[in-house]
Each structure stands twice: as structure tokens, then as C-alpha cells.
Amino acid sequence: MKLDADERSLLLKIARSSLESGLCHGHASQPDPASLPEKLCLPGACFVTLHRQGRLRGCIGSLEASEPMAQAVAGAAFAAGFRDPRFPPLSADELTQLDLEISILSPLQELAVRSEEDLLERLRPGIDGLLLEEGRRHAVYLPSVWSQLPKPRQFVDQLKLKGGWPADYWSEKMRVRIFQTETIEEPAA
């Protein structure tokens, strides 16, 4: 879903408004569909990532489109600020220190790989996000994680650790799916 500058700006406003609503009312804001451009009313999958002073402060989202994009962004922003189990709920004094990043996901694409080496050769650094699944375990990295883990081996090994597998684990039963994102960031102040 390619968004224009106005749609991108509006999504950032929706995300920030949802964080403000969380602080004031304890729940996500609800964007009014009647006031939104058509594209933002279409189903979309997204993640909202919060950074504070260059460090991760929260990241939550959905891998599959199940609600209108504007609503998905509002819900993900609220969850990233108040429901990410890795962090305490957002405080009012942190709000002005946050940088928001919205990642709009393409549909997940099954990647049939013969081996882990095949996966490493086919991954496109900086382009592909990755979802690994086996049994009840799963782990996902957005394409933006390539900036911290630029080598495919690092990217995959750290993702496996995140999912609870050993770094050297591989199984023919591992389900591999990739996706790409359209990233929206607030302009630098």
C-alpha cells in the first residue's frame, strides 16, 4: 500500500494521538472513518515502534490485515506504549521524547527453503522482514532490524534466539515467511 505524504502524516498523528489518549483515558484513540482518506479505511497490517533517545521503547503490531489501517495504527501505538511486556507503561514525561516509526506490512509470503543455508542466500538484507514458526514458537523481525544486524547469519541467529530456539537450531518443519514494509517516520526535529 503506497501512501502519499498527507496519508503518512495523518497516520503519524493518529499514532501520537493514541499515545496521548492512553495517558489521559487508558485506551487507544478511535479514528473517525468518515474523516479519513479511503486508503486508511482499507484493512492493513502494521507495527508501531517507539524509540526514546535512540533506544527501543516499545514495538507492537500485527502481521496480517484484520482491521482498517487507521484503527490498526491507533491500536498498535497504544499497545507499544502501554502493553509491550518488555517495558513499563509509558509515562507522561516520556511522550515528548519519543520518536515514532510506523511499518506498513505487505502480505506475508511463504518462502519454501531447502535448508537454513538456502534461507540465508535468499534473504535480502534491508528489504525483507522475516517470520519463523514451528509448533507454538514464532519470532519476527521487521526489515528495520537489518540496521542492527546487517549480516543474514546474524539476523537469522538472533531471530531464532528471540523465538526461544538455540542459534544453531534448524528443522525441516520450520515455516519461513517474508514480507516488506513501507516505513513512516516522524521528521527529525
What pLDDT, in 10s, does the model give residues 110-167?
A: 999 999 999 999 999 999 999 999 999 999 999 999 999 999 999 999 999 999 999 9
pTM, full prediction? 0.92
Q: Final residue of a domain: which of 88, 105, 122?
A: 105
Report whether 115 contacts 86 (CB < 8 A).
no
Mean pLDDT within 92-115 = 96
The pLDDT of residue 183 is above 90: yes
Quote the pLDDT of residue 163: 97
159 in a structural domain:
yes
Quote the pLDDT of residue 22: 97
Domain containing 173: what range?
109-181
Q: Are residues 84 and 99 in the same domain?
A: yes
Q: Are residues 83 and 119 in the same domain?
A: no
The pLDDT of residue 189 is above 80: no
Q: Final residue of a domain: which of 71, 86, 105?
A: 105
Return the percentage of the chain with pLDDT > 70, whole number: 99
Q: Are residues 12 and 83 in the same domain?
A: yes
The pLDDT of residue 187 is above 90: no
The pLDDT of residue 74 is above 80: yes
- CA atoms of 6 and 169, how far apart (whole Å): 45
| Bridge-based pairing state of the strands 129-134 and 175-179 | antiparallel
- CA atoms of 129 and 170, how far apart (whole Å): 19
Q: Are residues 70 and 137 in the same domain?
A: no
Q: Are residues 150 and 79 in the same domain?
A: no
115 in a structural domain:
yes
Give the list of residues 6+ apart from residue 188 with CB closer than 8 angstroms, or none.
Answer: none
Number of domains into which the chain is organized: 2
Quote the pLDDT of residue 129: 98
Q: Are residues 75 and 133 in the same domain?
A: no
